[in-house]
Amino acid sequence: MRALLSKAPGGPETLELSEVADPIAAEGQVIVAVRACAINYPDVLVIEDKYQFRPERPFAPGGEIAGVIEQVGAGVEGWQVGDRVIAVIGNGGLAEKVAVDAARLYRLPEGRDFAEGAALLLTYATTIHALVDRGRLKAGQTLLVLGAAGGVGLAAVELGKAFGARVIAAASSEEKAAAARAAGADDAIVYPYAPFDKAQSKELAERFKAAVGPKGADVIYDPVGGDYAEPALRAIGWEGRYLVVGFPAGIPKLPLNLTLLKSCDVCGVFWGAFAARDPQANQRHVAHLFDLWREGRIAPRVTETFALTQGGEAIARMAARKAIGKLVVTTTAG
């Protein structure tokens, strides 16, 4: 089979399309013929050895897949050859086949295509954990979403509205702001590209404050980081919750006096660890997501698809922060 491999640390241009042996299902595993693999920001980091987990090389990036079960290993119950499935697997998805622990599988509903299925779990499961468990978002509260046109950003907009919040989206272009409005945001602002000097940071803080209103934001969802973090934190309300989701713009240094003045919380969001530590709670969240998906209240937005040979281009586009919605690599198992 073919796989797009990282053989040495580096950017997307270092990935090599290679012929490798087909995987074999160990006990408790199935072999999935991959039909689609969504690209996420961890794929940018993992090939450069900048992610918290470092797979043994060579490995294929791609942690979110949809496909068809081709082989069922010993001890697996409830699944059979031909079942359409989705899964979050960590890495290995940019390949024509992959071995997956059966416990990671979810059934892809009839009528949903593979690209949309591959784009669901990681972004929406991260976001529902963030808003419900860490942000304690309630109906009627104000949610400020940074990076609102990316995969997790649009998920936050949609879930915020599904939970009855007033959602203010912030993004780096009018095109991205329009995408957030189309996803249901009540208002959207366009912020400039960082880095910011002190005056620019203060100006952005004032724009955030004006957008969220005089009481400030109850919850801030930040998958961006960098110089955007402090201005956003300055717009938080009393006892607000600032959700730390990711750092494509860099790891910020927050002035902690702001947390005292607003009596607010800065909350880390690490969905993978949460899912491993409390799988039952995660299963409840995923079940809720499938209900919302079926009802049409959330819908993964796949804006670009790439062939397996173009997987590096998809990762490069993610690294450049040019993506709106989800980027998906499609492949045909041999």
- Per-residue pLDDT averaged across 21-45, rounded? 96
Report yes or no: 139 and 232 within 8 Å, Cβ to Cβ: no
Average pLDDT over residues 215-229: 97
Strand pairing of 236-244 and 187-190? unpaired
Write the CB contacts of 275 (distance below 8 Å, at least 6 apart in sequence).
Answer: 125, 129, 282
Which single residue is written with the structure tokens 């997307």? Answer: 12
* 3-state class (DSSP) for residue 330: strand
Q: pLDDT value at position 53? A: 85
Please, how many CA atoms are within 13 Å of residue 77, restricted to the half-sphere of its CB?
1
Are the CB atoms for 93 and 61 separated by under 8 Å?
Answer: yes
Question: How does pLDDT run across 265-315, given as a tens digit for each residue?
Answer: 999 999 999 999 999 999 999 999 999 999 999 999 999 999 999 999 999
Task: Spell out the domains of the chain, with CATH numbers in brackets.
Answer: 2-120+301-330 (3.90.180.10), 122-272 (3.40.50.720)
Spatial separation of the C-alpha atoms in residues 7 and 198, rounded to whole Å: 42
| Mean pLDDT calculated for residue range 254-260 | 94
pLDDT digits over 82-91, tens only? 999 999 999 9
Please report which confidence band the pLDDT of residue 334 belongs to, taking 50, 70 and 90 as the band edges.
Answer: very low
Using the predicted structure, report yes or no on whether residue 2 has a pLDDT greater than 50: yes
- The rounded percent of the chain whose pLDDT value lies above 70 is 99
Closest CA to 65 of 23, 42, 98, 109: 98
**Residue-level pLDDT at 52:** 82
pLDDT bin (cut points 50, 70, 90) of residue 177 is very high
Q: Residue 51's pLDDT is what?
A: 86
Would you say residue 203 has pLDDT above 90? Answer: yes
* One-letter identity of residue 310: Q
List, for residues 105-160, the tens digit of each pLDDT value. Answer: 999 999 999 999 999 999 999 999 999 999 999 999 999 999 999 999 999 999 99
Residue 321 has pLDDT above 90, yes or no: no
What pLDDT shows up at residue 333?
Answer: 45
As a whole number of angstroms, the distance between CA 187 and CA 28 comes to 47
CA distance 93 to 27: 20
Mean pLDDT of 150-174: 97
* Predicted TM-score of the model (pTM): 0.93
For residue range 50-69, list pLDDT tens digits in order. 888 889 999 999 999 999 99
Query: Residue 332: pLDDT above 70?
Result: no
Neighbouring C-beta atoms of residue 57, cutoff 10 Å: 12
pLDDT tens track for 91-107: 999 999 999 999 999 99
